[in-house]
């Protein structure tokens, strides 16, 4: 594992966003055959499953704390004729149950499901473990309480700050349903945003795919795209403007006759977005199959040998304009190569 795993501040604290997935597959691919033979068959898997346990335990501690704090605040909120005597040993046991079960659930969620993301049973087991954490803690915590009354009965006033138990149950169920619908609405809204962004990425990838000079295979180009976008998002983590620009670096140059800028104001180098030039395939002959062409229609594109620099395409909306191919480019819309 030497040299493969680069520890950084990110990986130190990383709970695991999908960095862990990328990290796992990166390490798995970087692991050479000899090294895999030296180690056992499952050694790498086990090492992956049990690495970086500190943030995991921290998250489990926080969540168990949430369960326990909620439960005991809810018990303290009870008002009845008498008071509660607590058994401290059982309280400690309930906290321990919550802690162990929530850490186990988080381990499945953050470690096992990262490696086996398609196993639905793991998700069910995880939910069952979380339910065990909550329920076990709850009923153990209830067993810790002894409800005591004295001979002098206290008459509870009918105040608006007090809710009877049945109404509290109905209110909790209604609030739970409302919270579920609220979460559903939020999730759908967020999924919409995610779909938008994915559609944009797929559009950029499609533009790469129709590039006839793109010799790299799709997986590699996807990885390059992902890396570029990842760097972009890391550098501009807290600025929204940076996230709005999707830029792709194409590995192969384009010929000058293939791309033209349609908007004159976008042709300048000193653009407001910076380093973004919009160049589009202007002649729609490239994309309309003609019977005279041999093979695929995009094979008609004639490459130009010089111009080895990279080209950057911004994520602006491209407007196709029908221009004759032999028409000379205007001086203002000359091809700018970054």
Near another protein in 90-119, by CB under 8 A: 102, 105, 109, 117
Q: Is 182 in the site for another protein (CB under 8 A)?
A: yes
Which of 36, 43, 77, 323 is close enough to bind another protein by CB under 8 A? Answer: 77
Q: Is 202 in the site for another protein (CB under 8 A)?
A: no
Which of 25, 62, 86, 116 is close enough to bind another protein by CB under 8 A? Answer: 62
Longest pairwise C-alpha distance within the chain:
104
- Pairing of the two strands 248-250 and 311-313: antiparallel
Which of 4, 45, 49, 168 is close enough to bind another protein by CB under 8 A? Answer: 168
Q: Is 135 in the site for another protein (CB under 8 A)?
A: yes
Q: Per the structure block, which two tokens stand in for 312?
A: 């950057």
Q: Which is nearer to another protein, 135 or 299 (CB)?
A: 135
The tokens 């908007």 sit on which residue? Answer: 263
Q: Which is nearer to another protein, 79 or 220 (CB)?
A: 79
Q: How far is the CB of 304 from another protein (least distance, A)?
A: 31
Closest alpha carbon to 47 in 59, 55, 57, 39: 39
Taking CB under 8 A as the binding criterion, the range among 8-16, 280-288, 306-314, 328-336 that sits at the site for another protein is 8-16
Q: Is 87 in the site for another protein (CB under 8 A)?
A: no
Total binding residues for another protein by CB under 8 A? 93
Between the alpha carbon of residue 50 and those of residues 60, 115, 322, the distances in Å are 15, 12, 59
Segment 250 to 289, residues that bind another protein, using CB under 8 A? none
Q: How far is the CB of 238 from another protein (least distance, A)?
A: 8
Between the alpha carbon of residue 206 and those of residues 153, 225, 322, the distances in Å are 77, 12, 21
Q: Left if phi > 0, otherwise alpha if psi is -120 to 50, otherwise beta: which for 291?
A: alpha
CA–CA–CA angle 157, 160, 163 (5° rounding): 85
Q: Whole-angstrom Cα distance, residue 195 to residue 190?
A: 9
Q: Which is nearer to another protein, 196 or 287 (CB)?
A: 196
Segment 284 to 323, residues that bind another protein, using CB under 8 A? none
């Amino acid at each position: 594992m030497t040299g493969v795993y680069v520890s950084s501040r990110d990986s130190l604290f990383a709970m695991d966003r999908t960095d862990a997935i990328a990290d796992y597959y990166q390490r798995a691919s970087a692991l050479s055959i000899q090294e895999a033979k030296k180690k056992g068959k499952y050694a790498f898997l086990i090492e992956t499953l049990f690495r970086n346990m500190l943030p995991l335990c921290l998250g489990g501690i926080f969540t168990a704390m949430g369960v326990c704090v909620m439960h005991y605040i809810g018990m303290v909120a009870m008002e009845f004729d008498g008071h509660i005597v607590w058994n401290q040993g059982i309280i400690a046991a309930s906290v321990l149950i919550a802690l162990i079960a929530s850490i186990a659930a988080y381990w499945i969620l953050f470690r096992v499901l990262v490696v086996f993301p398609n196993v639905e049973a793991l998700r069910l087991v995880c939910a069952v473990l979380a339910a065990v954490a909550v329920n076990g803690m709850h009923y153990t915590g209830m067993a810790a309480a002894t409800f005591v009354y004295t001979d002098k009965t206290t008459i509870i006033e009918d105040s608006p700050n007090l809710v009877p138990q049945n109404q509290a149950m109905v209110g909790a169920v209604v609030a739970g349903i409302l919270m579920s619908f609220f979460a559903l609405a939020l999730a759908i809204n967020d999924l919409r945003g995610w779909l938008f962004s994915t559609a944009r990425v797929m559009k950029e990838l499609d533009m790469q795919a129709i590039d006839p000079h793109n010799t790299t295979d799709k997986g590699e180009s996807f990885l390059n795209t992902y890396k570029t976008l990842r760097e972009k998002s890391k550098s501009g983590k807290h600025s929204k403007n940076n996230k709005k620009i999707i830029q792709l670096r194409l590995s192969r140059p384009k010929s000058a006759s293939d791309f033209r800028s349609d908007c004159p104001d976008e042709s300048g180098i000193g653009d407001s977005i910076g380093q973004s030039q919009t160049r589009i395939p202007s002649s729609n002959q490239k994309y309309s199959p003609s019977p005279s062409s041999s093979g695929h229609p995009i094979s008609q594109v004639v490459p130009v040998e010089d111009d080895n620099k990279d080209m950057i395409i911004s994520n602006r909306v491209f407007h196709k304009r029908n221009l004759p191919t032999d028409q000379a480019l205007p001086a203002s819309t000359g091809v700018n190569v970054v």
